[in-house]
Structure 1
Amino acid sequence: MPYLAPDPAGTLHFTGTPPPTGAAAHPGNPSLVPRCSSPGYSGSAVASLARACFTAGPAVGSQPFVPRHRPAPSGTVRHRPAPPCDARPRCPASAYRAGVPPPGRASSRTREPGYDPGMLNIGLIGLGRMGTPICARLVTAGHRVTAHDAVPEREQAARDHGADWRSTAEEVCTGVDVLITVLPGPAEITALMSDTVLAALGPGATWIDMTSNSAEAAGPIRDRAQARGISVLEAPIGGNPADAAAGKLRLFVGGDREQLARQRPLLETLADPDRIVHIGGHGTGYTVKLLVNMLWFGQAVATAEALLLGRRAGVELSVLHDVLAAGPASSAFIRHDLPSLFAGDYLTSFGLDHIHDQLTIVVDQARALATPHDIAEAVRRTYQEALEHYGPADGELLAVAMLEERAGLRLRG
C-alpha cells in the first residue's frame, strides 16, 4: 500500500515505506508535529487527494502538495479558494484553506503575481489595547492585514505594524478571507455588523469575533451572516496586551468544531495552542468568557474586603497574602494579581464602563434563565458604584480603590 513521504524540501512522494511519525517526522522542527495529526485530515483522505493532484497535474515530485480539507456539506460554503498547486506553502494557513470560489467571487490575491498560499487576506476591525498587538502578530506571521477603527488616529499604529488601512468597514471586508473583530462590547459589534458590511464580506468568508460579546446580542447578527454563506466563530479573549503581543492569549471558542479546526492554525498565531478551548456551540464562548470575568471581579472585591479587615485587625499584609496564597482560599487573583494592587497598580487595561456592561449581561442572563444571582448582582452593584464615583475611567481594580477609600486604608505591600 503506498504512503506519502516528504523529502527534505517538503515535497510529498508516494513510497512503499511508511513515513516516520511523531517527532521523528520533523527533526529539528518538532512544532510541526501537532499539525500533522490535525483532526481535519485522515491518511486516506490526504492520499486520495494527493493522487488526484498528482495525476491531473505535472509529474509526481515536481511540486509541493497543498492538502485540501474535506468538502463542506452540500449547499454550504465554508472557506475560501485553495491555493494553486504550484504555490509554495509558507505557514500553517496553507493546510486549511480549500474549496472553490462561489460564483462571481474570487479572492483578489489569487490574481496577483507571487501569490503565497500561506498568506491569508485578513480584515481586522478594532485597534485598541488588544487589537493593536493582535495586528502586529498577524502581520509578523506573514498575513496581509487590512485594518479599520472608529478612531481615525489609530491609522498610524496600524501602518507602523505593517498593515494597510481603510476608512470604512465595508472597504476592509471586501475580498478578505477572514474578518476579525476586536471591539469593546455588544453595542459596538451591533453597530458595526450591518447588512452592508456583511454584503461586502460575502459568501465563503469567515468572521471571527474576539469581542467580549453577549450571546443574545450576537445571535441575530450571526444568523444574518450565515444566511449569506459566511462562516462564524466566536473567540472572546482572555489575557492582557502583553499576552496578545507574545501570542499567549486564551480563547473561549464557540461554534462549529470543524470550523475551529480549520481556523486553528490562524488562531495559534495569537494564542497558546493549549489555551484555545472549544467551549461548545454558538453563544457558549461568549457566556463562559463573561462568567470568568464575573468571578475574577468578584474575587477582587471579596479579597479586598478580607484584606482591609485583616489589616485593620493588625495583621501584616505580607503575612496575610502568604497565608491566603498557600491555603484553601487561594485563587489566581491572590497569587498573580494581588502583588500589582500592593504596588498601587489598579490594572488600567480596561474601562469601568465596559466592566459594568459585562457584569450587567451576566446578571440579565441569570435572570432570564431563572438561576440564582445574588452574588453576581452584588459584584455588579459594587462596580456600578465605582463607575458612578470615578466615571468611565480605566482600572479593573478601581472598585477596590473605592473600598480602600471607604475604609481609610491603602493596601500597599
Structure 2
Amino acid sequence: MSTVIAFIGLGHMGGPMAANLAAAGHRVRGFDLVAASLEAAAGSGVEPAASAVEAVDGADVVFTMLPAGRHVLALYRDGLLAAAKPGTLFVDCSTIDVADARAAHEAVTAAGHRALDAPVSGGVTGAEAATLTFMAGGGEAEFARAEPLLAVMGKKAVHCGGAGAGQAAKICNNMILGISMIAVSEAFVLGESLGLSHQALFDVASTASGQCWALSVNCPVPGPVPGSPANQDYRPGFAAPLMAKDLGLAANALRAAGVDAELGLRAAALYEDFARGPGAAEDFSGIIRTIRERSARTAEQDTAQNGTTT
C-alpha cells in the first residue's frame, strides 16, 4: 500500500534512498538545502518541496538523513514537528550521537508523534542498490510500521532495542571496522617489510583466523580484491572523514560510559588525523599509506641513530 513519505536530506545517501521509495510506488516529497541534490532527486521520481516544513505536511512517515545530531534536533524543534499531522512516524537515518538520538526521540514523542532511530550501513553503493542494513532503536510498533519501508531501501533491518539503540549498534559496529582496518593495514605493511607478497598474505589470512570484512571485501592493498577502493587509488567507498566521525561518536560514548577501550580511542585519534590530512578525500582503507609512510620514517630514524652510535 502506498505511503506518503517526506524525505529530508537528499545527498549521496538520502537521494538514492528516497528514489528507491518512489520507485516502489510511494509518494515521496523531498527537501534538501542543496539545489542540485533536490534537482537530482526530482529526476528520480521524488516530488521537490520548497521547504522541509512543506515536505512533511500530510506525510505519514518522515525520514531524515542529515550530517549531525544538531541538525536533526534543530530541524525537529524549528517547525518540523509542529507541521506534521498527529501521530506521524519520524525515522532518523542519520548517524549521530546516542545522546542526541535519545533527545530527538523525546522531542518527537513530546510533540505527539512516534520516533525511530535507524542509522544505516552499506555506504553510497548500498543506498543506490537498496542493500543497506538498518539498525533501529525505538518501540516495537514503530519498527513494525517502518520495516516495510526499510525493506525497500535495504536488505536487512534489525530492531536493536529502545531509543538510541540503533545509534549504539552503529557506532559499536564501526568501531570494530575502524580497528580491524588499522590491524589489517599494519599486517600488510609488516608483510612488505618481511618480503611477503600481498597476494600470499591475503590467501592465507582470508581463509584463516585473520579473516574479516576489512580484509576480504575492502582489502587495503591493490590486487587481491579487484573491487576494493585500493584498486581505484582509494576513491571512496566509505570516506575516511565519515569513519573519523563515527569513531569520534564511539569515543564520546566510551568516555561517557567509562569504558576502558584503548584500541577504540586510539583508532579514533588515528582516523581524526588521517581525515584532516591526506585522507580527506580518500576511502578509510587509505590509512595504510599513512602507516607505511610512518613506518618508513621510523626505519630511517633507527638507521640514523644506529649509524651515529656505531
- Give the alignment's TM-score, normalised by structure 1: 0.67
Give 1:156's match in structure 2, choosing from 15, 39, 42: 39
Native 8 Å contact 2:77 2:107 kept in 1: no
Q: Secondary structure at the match of 2:202?
A: helix
The structure number with the bigger radius of gyration is: 1
Give 1:144's match in structure 2, choosing from 27, 33, 37: 27
Aligned residues between the structures: 290
Residue 172 of structure 1: how far off its partner (Å): 1.1
Determine whether 1:304 maps to 2:185. Answer: yes
Residue 166 of structure 2 is matched in structure 1 by 285
CA distance in 2, matches of 1:167, 1:391: 36
Determine whether 1:328 maps to 2:231. Answer: no
CA distance in 2, matches of 1:301, 1:385: 13
Residue 344 of structure 1: how far off its partner (Å): 4.2
Native 8 Å contact 1:202 1:228 kept in 2: no
Native 8 Å contact 2:279 2:287 kept in 1: no
CA distance in 1, matches of 2:93, 2:247: 18
CA distance in 2, matches of 1:206, 1:359: 29
Residue 166 of structure 1 is matched in structure 2 by 49
Pick closer, same or farther for the CA change 1:402–1:344 going to 2, 3 Å: farther
Native 8 Å contact 1:127 1:154 kept in 2: yes
Residue 227 of structure 1 is matched in structure 2 by 110
Native 8 Å contact 1:129 1:349 kept in 2: no
CA distance in 2, matches of 1:283, 1:347: 32
Determine whether 1:186 maps to 2:69. Answer: yes
For 1:301, give the aligned amino acid: I
Instruction: Give the alignment of 1:228-307 within 5 angstroms.
Output: 228-272=111-155, 275-307=156-188
Q: For structure 1, which runs of at least 5 residues remain unmatched after alignment?
A: 1-117
Instruction: Give the alignment of 1:74-89 within 5 angstroms.
Output: none
Give 1:389's match in structure 2, choosing from 257, 273, 277: 277
For 1:291, give the aligned amino acid: C
Instruction: Give the alignment of 1:328-367 within 5 angstroms.
Output: 328-338=209-219, 339=225, 340-367=228-255
Query: What RMSD in Å do the two structures reach over aligned CA positions?
Result: 1.9
Residue 99 of structure 2 is matched in structure 1 by 216
Native 8 Å contact 1:185 1:354 kept in 2: no
CA distance in 1, matches of 2:241, 2:73: 17
For 2:56, give the aligned amino acid: C
Q: For structure 2, which runs of at least 5 residues remain unmatched after alignment?
A: 220-224, 298-310
Pick closer, same or farther for the CA change 1:187–1:349 going to 2, 3 Å: farther
Higher helix proportion? 2
Native 8 Å contact 2:274 2:280 kept in 1: no
Residue 204 of structure 1 is matched in structure 2 by 87
Native 8 Å contact 2:218 2:285 kept in 1: no
For 1:326, give the aligned amino acid: T
For 2:262, give the aligned amino acid: D
Residue 286 of structure 1: how far off its partner (Å): 0.3
CA distance in 2, matches of 1:237, 1:266: 13
CA distance in 2, matches of 1:351, 1:240: 9
Residue 201 of structure 1: how far off its partner (Å): 1.8
Give 1:316's match in structure 2, choosing from 187, 190, 197: 197
Q: Secondary structure at the match of 2:149?
A: helix
For 2:281, give the aligned amino acid: A
Per-residue deviation, residues 267-313 of structure 1 (Å, max 9, x unmatched) = 211122xx211111111110111111111111111110110011111
Residue 162 of structure 1: how far off its partner (Å): 1.1
CA distance in 1, matches of 2:286, 2:69: 23
- Give the alignment's TM-score, normalised by structure 2: 0.88
For 1:359, give the aligned amino acid: L
Pick closer, same or farther for the CA change 1:345–1:298 going to 2, 3 Å: farther
CA distance in 2, matches of 1:309, 1:223: 49
Residue 336 of structure 1: how far off its partner (Å): 1.1
Per-residue deviation, residues 71-101 of structure 1 (Å, max 9, x unmatched) = xxxxxxxxxxxxxxxxxxxxxxxxxxxxxxx
Runs of 4+ more than 3 Å apart: 349-354
Residue 361 of structure 1: how far off its partner (Å): 1.6
For 2:251, give the aligned amino acid: V
Give the share of equivalent positions with the same residue, in percent.
29
Native 8 Å contact 1:212 1:236 kept in 2: yes
Residue 380 of structure 1 is matched in structure 2 by 268
Choose between structure 1 and 2 for higher RCO, CA contacts under 8 A separated by at least 6 residues: 2
